[in-house]
Amino acid sequence: MLLTKFDPMKEFRDLEKRMESAFKFPEHGDIANVSGFTPSVNTREGEYAYHVEVDLPGVKKDDINVDIKDNVLTISGERKTKKEVKEKDYYKMESSYGKFQRSFTLPDNTDVENIEANSKDGVLEVVIPKLKKVNKETKQIKVK
């Protein structure tokens, strides 16, 4: 006769595993086919400006939005790609659609009125100028 040890928590662990698998997010490579994609971003600080470079392959310039609200820079848009192959003995069409959004809190020393954005070869570059520092002279206050 085979004896099985009673485990009162086994059913809860099984339920937890089923719930995790039901709500598990896809791996990074699969996310583009499910609900969008998360573009890669490089940021750097120059002497006169901050630079944000976003990799957006296959995204048209007209499908990119760059907004600023409450000192937060938001880059969003939608990627629509369609690949179609017509051969003599077969036809294949693949398409993927997905929305994306990335947000960045800007430092206090940014000139939000003069931000520029350019898209070229699938890379969006946003240049955020810094405000010029005003070197004020030290003023001596006479104590009375």
> In this predicted structure, what is the pLDDT of residue 36?
58
> In this predicted structure, what is the pLDDT of residue 128?
94
**CB under 8 Å to 44, separation ≥6 — which residues?**
50, 51, 53
Residue 48 has pLDDT above 80, yes or no: yes
- Sorted by where each starts, the structural domains of the chain and their CATH numbers stand as 27-129 (2.60.40.790)
Question: What are the pLDDT digits (tens) for 111-136?
Answer: 999 999 999 988 999 999 999 876 67
Question: What are the pLDDT digits (tens) for 55-75?
Answer: 998 888 999 999 999 989 999
Rg over CA atoms, the chain: 26
| Section 73-90 average pLDDT | 85
Query: Could you give the CA distance from residue 29 to residue 38 in angstroms, rounded to a whole number?
Result: 10
Residue 15 has pLDDT above 50, yes or no: yes
